[in-house]
Structure 1
Amino acid sequence: MRLSADHIDWTVHGHRLLDGVSLAVEPGETFGLIGPNGSGKTTLLRVLAGLRKPKRGRVLIDDHPMYAMPQRDIARTIAFVEQQAETLDRIVVREAVALGRTPFLTALQPWSEHDDAIVSRALHDVGMAHLAERLWHTLSGGERQRVHIARALAQQPRILLLDEPTNHLDIRHQLSILQLVRQLPVTVVIALHDLNQAMGCDRIGVMDGGRLVDLGEPEQVLSAERLYRTFGVQVDFLVDPADRRPVMRFRNAL
């Protein structure tokens, strides 16, 4: 499913957080968003998720304006994993993940064994099945993040938006979650802090000062010049001897 933004602006108290952002993410593509803190990545994801209405421009799903779609249809199509999402304290892990099935439940279609199976699979995919009955408030930050990703998977979206989903995870779970996301048969937009992780995306967009300043395949976009201009760092490009892929080593430019 295709997701696109058409000249999106977002302004708060006279401060423009998004400035004329246009992009199109193709069906099945994993699209990475990178940029310095405060560059507009999270704001753009929230607009793409339908949580904020742009001041100017529009978001389209398969060329259909999002504003014209019923909220339930949006929730059945897009799942969003926020950077610091919260869930009610007095529920267990399985119940938190089951919230992802809410858009599909109606009086004529109540909870079923099919929903149970989807929740169990989502828990298994993020390595949290063994903690399914644990209370939410007893989890670590990394465990909570994995539960939020499981909730998004239980939603069975066609478009998955993730805001720096690996921030609270140890390196093993960072790698497993990113591998899982890349294998999903969905359109993915993922904001990443680690630029080496961004190298695994199909394409990346660089945000800076609320603008999309670069867009393309990682090898083209992540040049020494771009990294210096946007992040203020110098970089050495190395080659991973295991798979011959480029790896970046950063040096302070000051």
Structure 2
Amino acid sequence: MNLSAENLGWRVHGHTLLENVSLEVAPGQTFGLIGPNGSGKTTLLRLLAGLSKPKAGRVLLDGKSLARMRQRHIAQSIALVEQQAETTDRIQVRQVVALGRTPFLSALRSWTEEDDAIVDQALVDVDMANMTGRLWHTLSGGERQRVHIARALAQQPKILLLDEPTNHLDIRHQLSILELVRQLPITVIITLHDLNQAMACDRLGIMDGGQLVAAGKPQAVLTSERLQQTFGVQAELLTTANGERLMRFYHA
């Protein structure tokens, strides 16, 4: 399934957050979005998910405008994991993950054993199967993040949007979640702060001042000039003994 954006613009109270952003993500590709805080990454993800309607331009899902699609139909193809998603309800972990099945339920299609199996597998995938009965408010920030990722996996989306999914996670769960994402046979758009993690993406887009200033293969866009211009740092590309490429950063 193809997701693309054409000349997207977004303004709030006269302040431009996105300006003339265009991109296309091929089916099955992992596309990373990087950029400084406030560069427009989260705003762009919300537009791509159909949660906000652009002030200019349009988002297309397989050539069809999201603005003309019902949210239920969008949610059957696209799942978004946001950085912050809180609730004051006394809700258990399994109930949160089960919400991922909501777009597929209706008066004609009730809950089935297949839904149970999908929810169970999503909990296993994020290492939360032993906490299904825990109440939401008793979870740590990292545990909540993993539950939200499980909820998105339970949606069985064709396109998964992740906004800083490794926030609040310890290093072990950061690695396991990123490895899980890489193995998913779906299209992924993920925002990241860690540029070394971003290097594992198929393609990268760099946001700066509400604009997409570069897009392409990681090594093509993560140039010394671009890193200094956008992030204000200097970088050195290193190759480890096992052939892995890493970046070391210095103050510009």
Partner of 1:246: 245
* Cα pair 1:87 1:96 within 8 Å, conserved: no
CA distance in 2, matches of 1:99, 1:231: 38
CA distance in 2, matches of 1:52, 1:205: 21
CA distance in 2, matches of 1:5, 1:140: 35
Using the TM superposition, give the Cα deviation of residue 68 of structure 1 relative to its aligned residue in structure 2, in angstroms. Answer: 1.4
Using the TM superposition, give the Cα deviation of residue 37 of structure 1 relative to its aligned residue in structure 2, in angstroms. Answer: 0.3
Deviation digits for residues 106-146 of structure 1 (CA, Å, limit 9, x no counterpart): 11111111100000000000000000111111110000000
What TM-score do you get using the length of structure 2 for normalisation? 0.99
Partner of 1:62: 62
Aligned length: 252
Deviation digits for residues 210-236 of structure 1 (CA, Å, limit 9, x no counterpart): 000000000111111110010000111
Q: Over aligned residues, Cα RMSD in angstroms?
A: 0.7
Partner of 1:11: 11
Partner of 2:38: 38
Using the TM superposition, give the Cα deviation of residue 88 of structure 1 relative to its aligned residue in structure 2, in angstroms. Answer: 4.4
Partner of 1:131: 131
Specify every segment of 5 or more residues in structure 2 that has no aligned partner in the other structure, as ranges.
none
Secondary structure of the residue aligned to 1:234 is: strand
Partner of 1:161: 161
Instruction: Specify the code of the residue in structure 1 equivalent to 2:50.
Output: G
Using the TM superposition, give the Cα deviation of residue 89 of structure 1 relative to its aligned residue in structure 2, in angstroms. Answer: 3.2
CA distance in 2, matches of 1:165, 1:133: 23
Secondary structure of the residue aligned to 1:146 is: helix
Partner of 2:210: 210
Runs of 4+ with >2 A deviation: none
Map 1:76-225 → 2, pairs under 5 A: 76-225=76-225
Identical pairs, percent: 70
CA distance in 1, matches of 2:108, 2:8: 38
CA distance in 2, matches of 1:234, 1:157: 38
Deviation digits for residues 15-49 of structure 1 (CA, Å, limit 9, x no counterpart): 11000000000000000000000000000000001
CA distance in 2, matches of 1:74, 1:88: 26
Instruction: Specify the code of the residue in structure 2 equivalent to 1:140.
Output: S
CA distance in 2, matches of 1:236, 1:202: 21
CA distance in 1, matches of 2:117, 2:240: 39
CA distance in 2, matches of 1:65, 1:236: 42
